[in-house]
Amino acid sequence: MTVPSVAERSGLDIDAPPVLSVRGLWKVFGPKAESVVGSSLTRKELKEQTGCVAAVRDVSFEVRRGEVFVVMGLSGSGKSTLVRCLTRLIEPTAGEVLLDGEDVRKADHRRLRELRRHRMAMVFQHFGLLPHRCVLDNVAFGLEIRGVAKQDRYARAREVVALVGLNGFENSYPDQLSGGMQQRVGLARALAADPEVLLFDEPFSALDPLIRREMQNEVIRLHHEVGKTMVFITHDLAEALKLGDRILIMRDGELVQVGTPDQVVGAPADDYVRDFVSDVPRSHVLTLRWIMRPPQSGEPLDGPELGPDVVIRDAVHAVLSADRPVRVTDGGSLLGVVTSAEMLEVIAGGQDR
């Protein structure tokens, strides 16, 4: 199947109100956790002085409707805690989590259950399937606990099972399926409730690389078909770049940078991020916007036209085969030009590093 590029997918309405809005979120484990909120001590100092571990420190971000929002960080960076705070599987220590403007933290138990049942669903790293139930019953589980009649929930479950490509496995049991298949069940279970937001906690890190790629493509396809807002946790930069409309990078519980993949690669916020993205082939991520330059006087400006958000890799052929500079235009106005020189520099440089 064909994989749509990031550029093709970015058609989001930036001005619409965000689905999910997180403000000043803290999660501190340990005694007297509240008193630690706002502290500026480092993790190690905190541990030594208070015995507390601040897993999430003052993180704020917004997720737009229909967006794939990736949270990336190494293990121990607090990203899994963060995603659990969104549905209060882990109770945040401070801050706000607004889902369509409603503060999730203020919801009582009943309301919280409603939120979980209808509006946010999660896919887990280790699947969390019920071993004693067949695929169909696993997928229908969420509907069952919210009281959907048997006929209806099976009908819906069958739809979703078909959607994730598990046709014919309805009556299999989880331990008869491969890891990838099991995660499809997990995915189907999350989709069955038709939630507004799908949360993924490192869903593919337990899978082997081939299956992982297949599942990533599956997510992209599903995103196209159902258009859900997704919050996706991963420690794999390639995965983040491949899936994310925007990426949030975390380190030691703190937000380091939020941006589109090309922003993260092209303009790392600090050495930590720079080091992180150093292995990424820049031509695969950066767009023409990043390498275009103002036209020099005397250059012919009648070469081919390309948009500023075309990824360099996709423009290689057009630029190298053109006998004059390629114009980068947006809505008719000329933003700059790109020639083989810029192209070769970024390709060579990208591999160099």
Partner 1 sequence: MTAASATTSFAARLPARRYLVALVIAFWAAGWVLLRGRDTLALGGAELTPLHSWLNAAMDAIDDSRNSNPIFLYFINYIRLFLDEAVTFVQALISQPAMDRPLPVLGWLGVVGLATAIALLYGNVRVALLTAAGFLSFGVLGLWQESMDTLALTLTAVALSLAVGVPLGVWAGLSDRFHRLVTPVLDFMQTMPTFVYLAPLTLFFLIGPASATVATMIYAIPPAIRITAHGIRQVSPDTLEAGASLGATSAQALRHVRLPMARQTIIVGVNQTIMAALSMATIAALIDAPGLGQTVLKALQTLDVGTAFNAGLAIVIMAVVLDRVTSAASRRVEAARRAGRLRTVRGRRLEVAGVLGVAAVLGYLSYTYVWAAEFPIEANLGSYVRRAADAVSLWAQDNLVAYTDIVKNLLTNGLLNPFQTVLAGSPWWLVTAVAVAVALLVGSARAALVTAVGLLLVVVLGLWQDSMVTLASTLVATVLVMLLGMVAGVWMGRSDRADMVLRPVLDAGQTMPAFVYLVPILGLFGPTRFTAIIAAVVFAAPVAIKLVAEGIRGVSATTVEAATSAGASTWQLISKVQLPMARSAVTLAASQGLIYVLSMVVVGGLVGAGALGYDVVAGFSQHQLRGKGLAAGIAIVVLGIVLDRVMRAATQRADQAAHGGSHQH
Tokens of 322: 């053109």
Rg (C-alpha) for the chain, rounded Å, is 23
Nearest approach in angstroms of CB 91 to partner 1 is 12
What gap in Å lies between CA 300 and CA 90, rounded to an integer?
60
Question: Closest CB to partner 1 among 116 and 223?
Answer: 116
Which of 6, 122 has the CB closer to partner 1? 122
CA 200 to chain centre: 8
Question: Shortest Cβ distance from residue 57 to partner 1 (Å)?
Answer: 13
Q: List, in sequence order, the alpha helices (H) in 193-339.
A: 209-226, 237-243, 261-266, 271-277, 282-285, 288-291, 312-321
Residue pair 336/293 in contact by the 8 Å Cβ criterion: yes
Nearer to partner 1, 91 or 208 (CB): 91
Q: Do the Cβ atoms of 139 and 189 come closer than 8 Å? A: yes
Closest to partner 1 by CB, 140 vs 346, is: 140
Task: Name the E strands within the chain.
Answer: 20-29, 53-63, 68-72, 94-99, 102-103, 120-123, 197-201, 229-234, 246-251, 254-259, 305-306, 326-330, 333-338
What is the smallest separation between the CB atom of 269 and partner 1, expressed in angstroms?
25
Closer by beta carbon to partner 1, 116 or else 212: 116
Q: What are phi and psi of 226, to 5 degrees?
A: -105, -15
Comparing CB distances to partner 1, the nearer of 89 and 269 is 89
- In the complex, the smallest distance separating the C-beta of residue 275 from partner 1, rounded to whole angstroms, is 20
- Which residue in the block uniquely carries the two structure tokens 């190690």? 44
- Least distance between partner 1 and beta carbon 43 (Å): 10
Distance of closest approach, residue 85 Cβ to partner 1, in angstroms: 12
Q: Which residue number, 53 or 63, has a Cβ lying nearer to partner 1?
A: 53
Phi, psi of 277 (to 5 degrees): -90, 5
| Cβ-count burial 158-183 (b if 16+ within 10 Å, e if not) | bebbebbbbeebbebbbeebebbbbb
Which candidate, 94, 161, 148, places its Cα nearest to that of 117? 148
When the beta carbons of 128 and 165 are compared against partner 1, the nearer one is: 128
Distance from C-alpha of 327 to C-alpha of 335, rounded to nearest angstrom: 8
141-147: which pairs have CB atoms within 8 A and are 24 or more residues apart? 141/189, 142/117, 142/189, 142/190, 142/192, 142/193, 143/192, 143/193, 145/117, 146/117, 146/118, 146/193
For residue 18, the minimal CB distance to partner 1 (Å) is: 21
If the CB atoms of residues 47 and 65 are measured against partner 1, the closer one turns out to be 47
Q: Give the footprint of partner 1 on this chain (CB under 8 A).
A: 29, 47, 53, 55, 76, 81, 87, 89, 112-118, 120-122, 124-133, 141-142, 144-146, 171-173, 176, 186, 189, 193, 199
C-beta of 66: minimal distance to partner 1 in Å?
Answer: 22
Nearest distance in Å: CB 281, partner 1: 33
